[in-house]
Amino acid sequence: MLFVSILSGHRPDRVWLCLFALLMAAQSGQTQDLAQLDQVKPFDIQGNIEARAVFYDANGIPARYLPFNYLISGTPVLSVYSVQIPVYFSFSRQQSSFTQPFNQFGLSPQYKWITVHGGYRNLHYSPFTLAGHTFLGGGVDLRPGKWRFSGMYGRFNKATVLDTLQGVYIENFSYKRTGYAARVGYGTDASYFDLIALHAQDEPGSAPVERTALFDSLKITPAENWVTGYQTRLTFLQGKLIFESDGAVSIYTADQRLPAIEDSTLRDDLSFVERFVHVNYSTEIYSAFQASLAYRVKRMGVKLQYRRIDPGYRSMGAYFLNNDLENWTVNPTLTLWQGRIRFVGSLGFQRDNLQDKKRATSHRVIGAANLTADLTERWGIDLSYTNFSNTQRAGTVRFADSLRVAQSTQNLSISPRYMKLTALHSHSVLLSFNLNTFRELNDQRTLEGTGNDITTQTYFATYQLGFTAARASLFLTANYARLGNDQLQDRNSGLTLGASKPFAAGKVVLTGSTGYILSDRNGEQGYMLNESLQVRYTLHPKHSVQAMVVFLGNYPDQVSEIQRRFTELRAEIGYNFNF
């Protein structure tokens, strides 16, 4: 094994970590235990190849597909000592391609308490520091006893590159960004405490010279980021009480090229960190924190969570973080009647504008409740309710009452079910009712008639009959949906009948369905037909052929630019090979 010691930082007091990286190439996402290497195949290939011919015809509307098309595609997966390398190819009349969908190679071999990462990796130390950002480089995880050591170094972003053949830029607008991170902690998976540090920066000279002016106009500047944080999990009372917490401070310099701040104008917080890192007029300090306390006994539990993230908080080790928010959440759970009744709830309160710099502050209340009840072996019911409300109050700028946001969204779902199994048949019935309402709670808008209340109702019923000996099934579905407000009333109702039946000892499976939908939009009525038939023939466990025909017809009573009378017919025949 070759281990490379990487010490980063141009000043001695900035040397945060020393890590070992194994230089190798293999597919991303694999962790291989070297102690079991002799028990796996050195080389293997599996996958799928499919060939399809598609026929299409349309009347009444412009064709959405070619009259005839073919598609040959495959997803072979090469395996070298259990390291998988998937490849995808496709050929059709419209385009041809041959790609490796994960054209990023890496490997994470493991030996006892040592795991080494090399190539393209994405590691997760904590949600506010290194949080799954893909990098090209190396890293190591060491777990001797209860000690926990981790480190990584690599490239987070590539610089924008000019394709000299086509004369276009083939990468996103960005400077080359490199970084490193380290984590040290003590404990087990049940209880531990970790300290985490991350440093990443853009290389100002990595952008093409002819691109610098465009970068400046788009406010793309070479940035630098230092993040320190912690993550902990503590378990008490034999696992009944669990405390978890994450926190971080991010020092973000948006433009490294700006001059340093004069000591006389240096803020107190920047004056402290300036002893350790370089700061200038674009440097800001952000913090993020979250904690939860969960208590769980045999039949019930409750979890209390708190989260606060400063406006503008960001880390170069994370792709995206919601910021400028503070929220409290409580999540109760309850299990009764020997597990037949299960309840999960949630109630949260959230606000933004933590620094009172916005024009308005939004307050949100989010509630949810889910109840599942298995009343008997055959009967059951599922209930779900969610509520989301949003209100605003004036902040730095006063605004008219008609502009104030005050809204409420509620959703109620009731789904009773029934299932009966016999030696000859199986019966299942599912009913469902869904009600969704959006309400404008601003009294001023309601008086002005500018509110936009919307109510949606959906009714659904399906019955499925299975024939055990014949392995066939038959289903009938009825549905009704209504969406309405002051300007629109849209109704749809329909029936669908379908069946599936195997033949020739299961080698041939025939599936078909027919559907009828009646629509009514502000008095303009019409109907749609949807028919499909599919047959699949399994020649061999690895070889199969299938054919399908789909018909769609739209027949409005009144033809308009929006409502057109048309028919579409699509047919396919294909061959599938699994290896």
| One domain for residues 369 and 387 | yes
| One domain for residues 315 and 340 | no
For the segment 548-571, the average pLDDT, to the nearest whole number, is 90
pTM tops 0.95: no
| One domain for residues 298 and 408 | no
The sign of the CA dihedral 132, 138, 142, 148 is negative
For the segment 228-236, the average pLDDT, to the nearest whole number, is 97
Task: Please say if the pLDDT value at position 111 is more than 60.
Answer: yes
pLDDT tens digits, 393-443: 655 444 444 445 567 899 999 999 999 999 999 999 999 999 999 887 555
SS3 at position 403:
helix
Give the residue from 432, 454, 476 where a domain finishes. 476
Q: Are 341 and 335 in contact (CB under 8 A)?
A: yes
Distances (CA, A) of 424 to 421, 430, 464, 578: 8, 21, 14, 34
Residue 99: both structure tokens together: 């790609």
Give the residue from 476, 503, 533 where a domain finishes. 476
Pairing of strands 360-373, 147-157: unpaired
| One domain for residues 286 and 168 | yes
For the segment 126-151, the average pLDDT, to the nearest whole number, is 96
For the segment 90-102, the average pLDDT, to the nearest whole number, is 65
| One domain for residues 311 and 346 | no
| One domain for residues 303 and 366 | no
CA-CA distance, 387 to 348, in Å (whole number)? Answer: 10
How remote is the C-alpha of 490 from its chain's centroid? Answer: 32
Distances (CA, A) of 320 to 133, 136, 289, 315, 450: 10, 19, 16, 8, 35
Q: How confident is the model at residue 308 (pLDDT cuts 50, 70, 90)?
A: very high
| One domain for residues 244 and 365 | no
By mean pLDDT, which of 81-95, 323-337, 456-470 is the weakest?
81-95
| One domain for residues 341 and 418 | yes
What are 529's strand-pairing partners? Answer: 516, 553
* DSSP symbol at 272: H
* DSSP symbol at 449: T
Quote the pLDDT of residue 233.
98
How remote is the C-alpha of 398 from its chain's centroid? Answer: 38
Quote the pLDDT of residue 7.
34
| One domain for residues 358 and 402 | yes
Task: Please say if the pLDDT value at position 181 is more than 50.
Answer: yes
Task: Please say if the pLDDT value at position 207 is more than 60.
Answer: yes
Q: Are 351 and 364 in contact (CB under 8 A)?
A: yes
Give the residue from 438, 456, 476 where a domain finishes. 476
CA-CA distance, 303 to 297, in Å (whole number)? Answer: 12
- State the residue range of the domain holding 456: 333-476
CA-CA distance, 53 to 572, in Å (whole number)? Answer: 6
| One domain for residues 170 and 236 | yes
Q: How many domains does the chain have?
A: 2
Per the domain annotation, does 342 fall within a domain?
yes
In angstroms, the first-to-last Cα distance of the chain is: 35
Per the domain annotation, does 393 fall within a domain?
yes
